[in-house]
């Protein structure tokens, strides 16, 4: 089970944020993936239950540049505020 200090344990006290994920990334590394290993799509919302990305965002992640990845992260952070 992930620990509260790991990047893969989002909850009300440790939400998914780019700032938090970057703390665990190596210096100079690309923008890290928000994937937390809970890969199940919610049919009602169209979002992954783990990382809150759409299927299109998940599929495009590997080919996305850092600017596009940051836009996806901003969308995730906004979605968390609505849940």
Which residue blocks in the chain are alpha helix, DSSP H?
18-23, 55-60, 66-82
Number of domains in the chain: 1
Residue 60, domain member (yes or no)? yes
Residue 9, domain member (yes or no)? no
With vertex at residue 17, the alpha carbon angle to CA 79 and CA 2, rounded to the nearest 5 degrees, is 105
Q: Using CB atoms within 10 A of its CB, is residue 50 exposed (0-12), middle (13-18) or buried (19+)?
A: middle
> What is the model's pLDDT at position 27?
92
Mean pLDDT throughout 45-68? 97
pLDDT band of residue 8 (cuts 50, 70, 90) is very low
Residue 7, domain member (yes or no)? no
Residue 75, domain member (yes or no)? yes
pLDDT band of residue 1 (cuts 50, 70, 90) is very low
Its domain, for residue 58, covers 18-23+31-82
Supply the pTM of this predicted model: 0.81
CA separation for the pair 31, 18 (Å, rounded): 8
CA separation for the pair 15, 44 (Å, rounded): 21
Residue with tokens 């996305």: 64
């Amino acid at each position: 089970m992930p620990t509260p200090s790991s990047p893969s344990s989002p909850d009300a006290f440790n939400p998914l944020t780019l700032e938090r994920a970057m703390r665990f990334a190596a210096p100079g590394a690309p923008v890290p993936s928000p994937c937390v290993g809970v890969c199940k799509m919610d049919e009602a919302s169209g979002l992954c239950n783990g990382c809150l990305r759409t299927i299109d965002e998940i599929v495009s992640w590997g080919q996305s540049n850092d600017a596009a990845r940051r836009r996806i992260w901003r969308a995730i952070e906004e979605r968390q505020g609505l849940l």
